[in-house]
Amino acid sequence: MSETLIVLGATSLIGRRLPEAAGSLRLAGVSRRSEPRPGYADWITADLTEGGFGRGLPEAERALILSPVWTAAAAVPSLAAKGVRRIVATSSTSRFTKAHSPDPAERAVAQALATGEARLREVCAERGVAWTILRPTLIYDEGLDGNVTRLARLIRKARVLPLAGGGRGLRQPVHAADLARGCLDALERNAARSKAYDLAGGETLTYREMAGRIFDALGLRRRIVPLPAWAWRAAFTLARPLLPGAGAQMGARMQDDLVFDDAEARRDLGWSPRPFRPDFRGF
């Protein structure tokens, strides 16, 4: 019989990519959405924030928590009651990059990530569950994510991209498929127990070059226009309907280096992500 792996947040970007990396594992997906994802043998519709979450969960020794890390601790008692003794949960490097943002909403996200991680560690220790926390950098999955794909939609529509100050800040985009593999590897590695890792993409490049690669993937000539901050803010106001969910701090961060050292993950997890070469064929 195949081992069952419980996956909370199965409709997330990483959760969508798990079936292709799971091999013989039997995936039991848990989500607030009732529509099962392809590749999941079992599907449980549940909300981690509501009572009775544990009803319907299968017996299992291991679980992935891909839902927001600030909800993770609440799930641990129910998972432990089903026999789970090993958990890998995802957080985000936004815990650090947004901690000192001038935007109160972004600071609140950073605080929620930090508090969620701490609470997860506490509850796992109380229940005798081994934990690992993975913090990806900028996640993308062509056609699905709200980062690279959102930028691709703007580029395809406008055929030109204004960048605040030239977009000199460094980025490390990481593909959801690589993260799915990384989560499964973390479950297998004893060296990863009781540790948190920053997971960066396979390449460090400027925001401008990242945007240029998106132009290339769309088959468009690179038309990138550096603008002073005041002009970029005006352009952003006009383009905002094409960037749902984007905030005004997006421009300011184009100049910031948002990079992380993933040497420990490469050592302990065998982390080896792909370089940034997005594929938007058919997009």
Report residues of the chain scoring pLDDT below 50.
none
**Domain coordinates in residue numbering, the chain:** 4-136, 148-169+205-253
Number of C-beta neighbours around residue 18 at 10 A: 27
- At residue 234, the pLDDT reads 74
Nearest Cα to 254, choosing from 262, 244, 246?
Answer: 246
- At residue 71, the pLDDT reads 94
- The pTM assigned to this predicted structure is 0.93
**CA dist., res. 45 & res. 29, Å (int):** 8
Domain 4-136: CATH superfamily, name plus number:
NAD(P)-binding Rossmann-like Domain (3.40.50.720)
- 122-161 residue pLDDT tens: 999 999 999 999 999 999 999 999 999 999 999 999 999 9
Number of C-beta neighbours around residue 100 at 10 A: 9
Pick the CATH number of 148-169+205-253 from 3.90.25, 3.30.565, 1.20.1530, 1.10.238: 3.90.25
- At residue 35, the pLDDT reads 84
What radius of gyration do the chain's Cα atoms show? 20
